[in-house]
Structure 1
Amino acid sequence: MTTLANHPELRLAGVWDRDPERLSAFARYWKVPAYASLDAVLADPAVTIIVNLTTPESHYVINRAALSAGKHVYCEKPLAMTVDEASELVELAAERGLVLAGAPANGLSDAQALCASLLASGTIGTPRLVYAEMEDGPVYKANWRSWRSRSGAQWPGVHEFEVGCTLEHAGYAASWLVSLFGPVAEVSAVSALTFPDKGPGTETLSLGPDFSVGCLTFRSGVTARVTCGLAAPRDRSLTVIGDKGTIVVRDLWDNRSPIHVEAFGTRRSLTHRGLDWLEWKLGRKLPVRLYPGTKVRYPKVSSAPALPAFPSQIDFVRGIAVQAEAIAGGEVPFFSGATARHLTEVVLALNGGWRDYRPLDL
Structure 2
Amino acid sequence: MKIAIVGTGFVADYYMTTLANHPSLRLAGVFDRSAARLDQFAAFHKVRKYESLAAVTADPDVKIVVNLTTPESHYEVSRAALDAGKHVYCEKPLAMDLGHASELVALADAKGLALATAPANALSDAHGLVAAALAQGRIGTPRLVYAEMEDGPVFRDKWATWRSRSGAPWPGLHEFEIGCTLEHAGYALSWLVSLFGAVDTLTAFSAVTFPDKGPGTQDVVMAPDFSVGCLSFRSGLVARLTSGLAAPKDRSLTILGDKGSITVRDLWDNRSAVFVEETAAPRKLATRVVNRLEAKLGRFIPWKPTPGQRLAYSSGTRSDAMPNFPSQIDFCRGIAAQAKAIEAGEHPYFSGNRALHITELALALNNAGSLPQPYKVLSNF
- Place the TM-score, normalised by the shorter chain, in its bin: over 0.9
Q: Secondary structure at the match of 1:15?
A: strand
Matched, 1:333 2:352: no
Following the alignment from structure 1 to structure 2, what is the Cα–Cα distance between the partners of residues 189 and 303?
Answer: 37
**Which residue does the alignment assign to 2:29?**
14
How far the C-alpha of 1:274 sits from its partner, in A, is: 1.3
Following the alignment from structure 2 to structure 1, what is the Cα–Cα distance between the partners of residues 361 and 232?
Answer: 11
Following the alignment from structure 1 to structure 2, what is the Cα–Cα distance between the partners of residues 179 and 102?
Answer: 13
How far the C-alpha of 1:361 sits from its partner, in A, is: 4.1
**Which residue does the alignment assign to 1:163?**
178
> What amino acid is the match of 1:107?
A
Structure 2 gap segments, 5+ residues each: 1-15
Matched, 1:359 2:373: no
Matched, 1:295 2:295: no
Structure 1 gap segments, 5+ residues each: none
Following the alignment from structure 1 to structure 2, what is the Cα–Cα distance between the partners of residues 303 and 233?
Answer: 29
> What amino acid is the match of 2:376?
R
Alignment of 1:94-173 (within 5 A): 94-173=109-188
Deviates more, 1:265-274 or 1:65-74: 265-274
Following the alignment from structure 2 to structure 1, what is the Cα–Cα distance between the partners of residues 235 and 224?
Answer: 30
Matched, 1:220 2:235: yes
- Runs of 4+ in structure 1 off by over 4 angstroms are none
Q: Please, which of 83, 90, 112 is the counterpart of residue 98 of structure 2?
A: 83
Report the CA distance shift for 1:28/1:89 in structure 2 as closer, same or farther (over 3 A): same
How far the C-alpha of 1:276 sits from its partner, in A, is: 1.9
How far the C-alpha of 1:279 sits from its partner, in A, is: 2.9
Following the alignment from structure 1 to structure 2, what is the Cα–Cα distance between the partners of residues 169 and 17?
Answer: 23
Deviates more, 1:286-295 or 1:135-144: 286-295
> What amino acid is the match of 1:175?
S
Question: Would you say how many aligned residue pairs link Structure 1 and Structure 2?
Answer: 362
Following the alignment from structure 2 to structure 1, what is the Cα–Cα distance between the partners of residues 95 and 132?
Answer: 32
Matched, 1:317 2:332: yes
> What amino acid is the match of 1:210?
D
> What amino acid is the match of 1:148?
R
> What amino acid is the match of 2:211?
P
> What amino acid is the match of 2:222?
L
Write out per-residue CA displacement over residues 9-33 of structure 1, whole angstroms, 9 at most, x where no aligned residue: 1110100001111110000000001
Matched, 1:210 2:225: yes
How far the C-alpha of 1:300 sits from its partner, in A, is: 1.9
Write out per-residue CA displacement over residues 199-230 of structure 1, whole angstroms, 9 at most, x where no aligned residue: 11100110111100000000011000000001
Following the alignment from structure 1 to structure 2, what is the Cα–Cα distance between the partners of residues 90 and 322?
Answer: 18
**Which residue does the alignment assign to 2:64?**
49
How far the C-alpha of 1:280 sits from its partner, in A, is: 3.1
Q: Secondary structure at the match of 1:81?
A: coil
Q: Secondary structure at the match of 1:2?
A: helix
TM-score w.r.t. structure 1 length? Answer: 0.98
Following the alignment from structure 2 to structure 1, what is the Cα–Cα distance between the partners of residues 37 and 304?
Answer: 43
**Which residue does the alignment assign to 2:11?**
none
**Which residue does the alignment assign to 1:266?**
281
Q: Please, which of 18, 30, 38 is the counterpart of residue 23 of structure 1?
A: 38
Write out per-residue CA displacement over residues 126-153 of structure 1, whole angstroms, 9 at most, x where no aligned residue: 0000001111111111111111101011
State the Cα RMSD in Å: 1.1
* Percent identical: 64
Following the alignment from structure 1 to structure 2, what is the Cα–Cα distance between the partners of residues 237 and 319?
Answer: 21
TM-score w.r.t. structure 2 length? Answer: 0.93
Write out per-residue CA displacement over residues 319-342 of structure 1, whole angstroms, 9 at most, x where no aligned residue: 000000111110001100011000
Q: Secondary structure at the match of 2:27?
A: coil
